[in-house]
Amino acid sequence: MEGGLAQKIKLSTIADALGVSTATVSLALRDSPLVADATRDRIKDYARAIGYIYNRRAASLRTSRSGIVGVVVHDIMNPFFAEILRSIESELDRSGQTFILSNHYDQLEKQRTFIDTLLQLGADGVIMSPAIGTPREDIEMMEENGLPVVLIARQVEGALVPVFRGDDAYGIGLATNHLISLGHRRIAMIGGTDQTSTGRDRYRGYVLAMEKAGLEVKPDWRVPGPRTKQGGFEATGQFLALKDKPTAAVCWNDLVAIGLMNGIARAGLVPGVDISVTGYDDLEEAAIATPALTTVWNGQREVGRRAARALLDRLGGNHEPVTPDLIRPELHVRQSTGRPSQR
């Protein structure tokens, strides 16, 4: 029953002990129907008894299948990605694939280093939220080297690979229209960047909704940059000092919204009463924030699930046409939004 490091146990150890060939052992351990039941059981029992450990590197060298899938995101400390990862994980788990994770922190070089590692390990595929500035050529290089790619959250212009993300322009429109319908006329947009497709789409959606309602869009009312709680918190001063005092803020995401609400509360105002705030993503946290956050459900679970399935499909040899499947967001109204107050 002991593992023991004394003599490395390999297929041939078992073959020799049982008087069969390594081919038979190999097939038996993988439950091949080519092996007689009795032989198979005898082999598996013995292997277990002496603590045999399958050497995947050797197998993978021979089969050129590694059972490894790479996952690359901006930052796992961001709960948005953490929720996506969780659902990727549960899909991958049941397929027996191991996944390797890396944060690129939007540094192209870090992303490239990791992609290199994946190629060297012979990874079977990769799911990635590409770093800002990822060129189409990087994606093509991976595909050419036999590493199938599935993108999440962000697009790479011109890359012909599946992308799973929410319909950002539509989603931010839901939040903006909600505020407009409550009577808000001066609405700011806090956070986000124009450097990503997501950032551009959300800003566009906000502008579109404002214009459709015949409302003025002041460039000042956009405070770009913040993407974290800390960022939202720190943007409070700038927001409260805006000319014409907006009565509401459409935030880049839930983190920024929660940070901003904290900042607003510190300034002695009541978020949801004095100032309305919307988030984006509907993180688990949104529902228990104070006040509970009105936000846009962005389908993280769905994004992760579909991306993982799409990749597994490709690994299974399925070469379906690429459907650029936009997930339709939903507005979840809670307590952080209300009619505009006089201030």
Query: Considering the rule CB under 8 A, would residue 12 count as an interface residue with a copy of itself?
Result: no
Nearest approach, Cβ of residue 62 and DNA (Å): 4
**From candidates 4, 48, 51, 58, binder to DNA by CB under 7 A:** 58
The one-character DSSP state at 328 is: P
Cβ–Cβ < 8 Å for 333, 174: no
- Element spanning 302, H or E: helix 300-315
- Nearer Cβ to DNA (49/273): 49
How would you label 44-81 residue by residue, b for 16+ Cβ within 10 Å and e otherwise?
bebbeebebeeeeeebbeeeeebbbbbbbbbeeebbbb
Q: What are phi and psi of 125, to 5 degrees?
A: -175, 175
Query: Which residues, numbered 11-30, are part of the site for DNA (CB under 7 A)?
Result: 11-12, 19-24, 26-27, 29-30
Stretch that binds a copy of itself, among 2-10, 25-33, 157-165, 295-303 (CB under 8 A): 2-10
Tell me whether residue 53 or residue 273 sits nearer to a copy of itself (CB atom): 53
Site for DNA contains 121 (CB under 7 A): no
Q: Does 5 bind a copy of itself (CB under 8 A)?
A: yes
Residue 28 binds a copy of itself (CB under 8 A): no
17 touches, from DNA, a copy of itself, none (C-beta below 5 to 8 Å by class):
none
Q: Give the DSSP H or E segment for 72.
A: strand 68-73
Which one, of 172, 153, 165, lies nearest residue 330 by Cα? 172
Six-digit token pair at 131? 């770093």
- C-alpha pair distances (Å), 240 with each of 237, 244, 254, 264: 5, 10, 19, 8
Contact residues for a copy of itself, defined by CB under 8 A: 2-5, 51, 53-58, 60-61, 66, 76-77, 79, 82-83, 85-86, 89, 98-101, 103, 116-117, 119-122, 141, 144-146, 229-230, 233, 259, 262, 265-266, 284-285, 288-290
Q: Where do contacts with DNA occur on this chain (CB under 7 A)?
A: 8, 10-12, 19-24, 26-27, 29-30, 33-37, 39, 52-55, 58-59, 61-64
